[in-house]
A and B are shown apart, each in its own frame.
Chain A
Amino acid sequence: MATQTLPRPRFQFRISRLIIYLILLSFTVFYILPVYLIIITSFKQYADVNLYRMWDFPPVLTLEHCTNPAFFCFDSFYEAWFGGPSVTVGMSQAFMNSLTMTVPATLISTVLGSINGYILAKWKFRYADIVFSLVLFGMFIPYQAVLIPLTITVKNIGLYGNLWGLVFVHTIYSIPIAALIFRNYYATIPNEIMEASRIDGGNIFSVYRYIILPLSPPAFVVVLIWQFTNIWNDFLFAVTLVQNKYQPMTVALNNIAGSFSVQWNVQMAAAFLTALPTLLVYIILGRYFLRGLLAGSLKG
């Protein structure tokens, strides 16, 4: 009896493994497909872009029409990056804009977040929790509900139409999420460590400087990545508050995509370039990226 029933579970086990890997592989295809399309199209030449052959690999061996060949044809990237007959604002300009906007906003909001999180976690004044939840609500509002006053205010303080306006706006609306992640992280630092320092005469500043800050790097990495990705990928604020030569990459890409005179291969190259910075951050620091995502769901 026992000898007859033993082989069956093992066979079932293998079948279920097979099904598991089939599921994983089919989803791999689903997630890869758009990326595959972006990459193969951006390596095509103008002459090779044909909707009815859009899934085909770019022809490697016919590079005679290509201006910038390096085994593959890099023409699309050249035009997307430097601008050209159909692209008036090249991605190089937009890249600098994105960088000029994202780096200061990320740094300022992260430092602010650390300080705010410290106060909210360790120096709870009366009603601190109510104040905190009122701040958190700001993380969830649809920005459409503040867009009109925001535009008027940014105009009034003279920051409309330039990158400093975007830095300012991103910093303000990043306060809630940054405070949340730091507060949750600092809540896990035991108060006993702080108390030991206070017996030695430490105060609110020295506790932060000598106890909290040295323990903070993991939280800093998480918040920096979160802010960098979100601000880099923002479209709504940028499309509302800046124009023309100050466009960050997302807006420039959307304009390139909306223009009928820009070929698909150039559009896809521009899309690839826009995605690359945040994608690199994700590939290099993926674990911290995930932690930020989990913290953002309030369950940090």
Chain B
Amino acid sequence: MSISLNRNWEKIVGFIILLPSLIGVAVFVYGFIGWSALVSVSNWKLGAKPDYTFSGLDAYARLFGIGERYATSIDAIRFGADVRNVIGFTLLFIAGCIIVGFSLATVLDRNVRGEGFFRNLYLFPMAISFIVTGLAWRWMFTSGDPNVGSTGINLLFEHLGLGFFKPNWASDLVFHLPAESGVGQFLSGIGLGWMASPRLGVSLGVLTLVVAAIWQMSGYTMALYLAGLRGISDDLREAARVDGATEWQVYWNVIIPLLKPITLSVIIILAHSSLKIYDLVIAMGGQGPGFVKDMPAVNMWDTTFGQSRFAQGAAIGMVLLMLSSLLIVPYLTFSLRQEEER
């Protein structure tokens, strides 16, 4: 906008028009975050009646099992399981979405007949609620009774001749490095024994969540990559081919590096939505036996509105906020700075 045409009163009017929305966001985002922080350090331990007297970081100590009193408390055990689950879920979910999304985008970028059809088909789960997705996949993952027969996905495996593979998806099995294994003994030998424990691992229940979440979000990842691939000029690929690069090298040395900003966006967006995953877990049956598929967001709701322990619930919310801010703040700063340079 050229400065000569800018009148000051209009800028003021513009700001006034914007003001109600700004106040709304200021109160409902920043004000409420502060309020939650206040609740998390308050004495509002139980019941519907607020009590804002300061009681320190008690709720946080309880979550992380700090101090003799809380080391083996149920809160610390549950939150420990949450952290394990959300880390495992996030890593597998992002890896799965990137592998599936990138592969599909690459394949669809090669002049496929019916491209629009396939693209729309792969993307439709994005339009569906996590509750519907969760319900469908929960039924897919019913394992059946070993004495009567398999059901769900296990039954499909049976039809495909893979009948030996029939895990009980609802069990509390956690895949981890066993302490008695070679690697486990080596780790405890060098003082890293804690790495070989069920505290670090992925449970079967989390795997079912991962599959359902990949089903829902991989089409989105594909769409992002496809948009990126379409932005790379054919001349660039041609130039690399002329220089004698194989198709594999073109991808590895030219295309994947050029898609780096997209990969970064994908990782940030997916990590951020996986940190606060809630609906899907609820629809797939909740926390599971021994918190095998409990997640921080599920814990937060349950603690706050299920058990009426408000300070404790607020503390979980604050930890979630801090984790996602670690991702989002650098990303937002980076994107906006890039925009300014443009």
Contacts and interface: CB of A to CB of B under 8 A. Distances in A.
A248 to B, nearest CB: 10
B14 A144 contact: no
Nearest to A132: B336
A90 to B, nearest CB: 17
A137 B123 contact: no
A28 B129 contact: no
Nearest to B278: A236
Contacts of A293: 126, 220, 223
A135 B335 CA distance: 14
Contacts of A112: 21
Nearest to A51: B151
Contact of B112 (A20, A52, A122, A274): A20
B127 interface: yes
Interface in B1-60: 1-2, 5, 7, 10-15, 17-18, 21-22, 24-25, 28-33, 35-36, 39, 50
A150 B314 CA distance: 12
B69 interface: no
Question: Interface majority SS on A: helix, strand, loop or mixed?
Answer: helix
Interface in B276-324: 276, 278-279, 282-283, 296-297, 300-301, 304-305, 310, 313-314, 316-318, 320-321, 324
Contacts, number: 263
A142 B13 CA distance: 33
A284 B18 CA distance: 33
Given A23-B103, A271-B136, A278-B128, A176 B272 contact: no
B35 A149 contact: yes
Interface in A109-156: 112, 115-116, 119-120, 122-125, 129, 131-138, 140-153
Contacts of B118: 24, 27-28
B144 to A, nearest CB: 7
Interface in A1-47: 20-21, 23-24, 27-28, 30-35, 37-38, 41
Contacts of A145: 32-33, 36, 317-318, 320-321
B140 interface: yes
Contacts of A55: 155-156, 159
A224 to B, nearest CB: 14
A21 to B, nearest CB: 8
Interface in B223-271: 223-224, 227, 261-262, 265, 269
Interface in B100-154: 100, 103-104, 107-108, 110, 112, 118, 120-133, 135-140, 142, 144, 148-152
Contact of B135 (A20, A31, A267): A267
Most-contacted residue by chain A among B1, B129, B227, B283 (CB, 10 A): B129
Nearest to B224: A297
B152 to A, nearest CB: 7
B11 A298 contact: no
B17 A146 contact: no
B1 A233 contact: no
Contact of B215 (A31, A122, A253): A31
Nearest to A20: B107
Contact of A148 (B132, B149, B224, B310): B310
Interface residues of B, number: 103
B140 A33 contact: yes
B155 A229 contact: no
Nearest to A251: B131
B272 A52 contact: no
Given A24-B107, A149-B31, A283-B124, 16 more contacts: A31-B215, A55-B155, A55-B159, A135-B21, A144-B320, A148-B313, A152-B50, A191-B2, A198-B5, A229-B127, A232-B129, A257-B283, A268-B135, A275-B132, A290-B223, A293-B223
Q: Which 6 A-B pairs have the closest CB atoms?
A: A123-B14, A233-B129, A282-B127, A34-B136, A145-B321, A146-B32
25 contacts: A20-B107, A27-B100, A34-B215, A52-B155, A54-B152, A55-B159, A116-B21, A137-B328, A142-B320, A146-B32, A146-B33, A172-B25, A175-B21, A194-B1, A235-B129, A235-B130, A235-B279, A254-B131, A257-B135, A257-B138, A274-B132, A279-B124, A286-B123, A294-B223, A299-B227
Interface of B: 1-2, 5, 7, 10-15, 17-18, 21-22, 24-25, 28-33, 35-36, 39, 50, 100, 103-104, 107-108, 110, 112, 118, 120-133, 135-140, 142, 144, 148-152, 155-156, 159, 215, 219-220, 223-224, 227, 261-262, 265, 269, 272, 275-276, 278-279, 282-283, 296-297, 300-301, 304-305, 310, 313-314, 316-318, 320-321, 324, 328-329, 332-333, 335-336, 340
Interface of A: 20-21, 23-24, 27-28, 30-35, 37-38, 41, 51-52, 54-55, 112, 115-116, 119-120, 122-125, 129, 131-138, 140-153, 172-173, 175-176, 179, 191, 194-195, 198, 203-204, 229, 232-233, 235-236, 239-240, 250, 253-254, 257, 264, 267-268, 271, 274-275, 278-279, 281-283, 286, 289-290, 293-294, 297-299
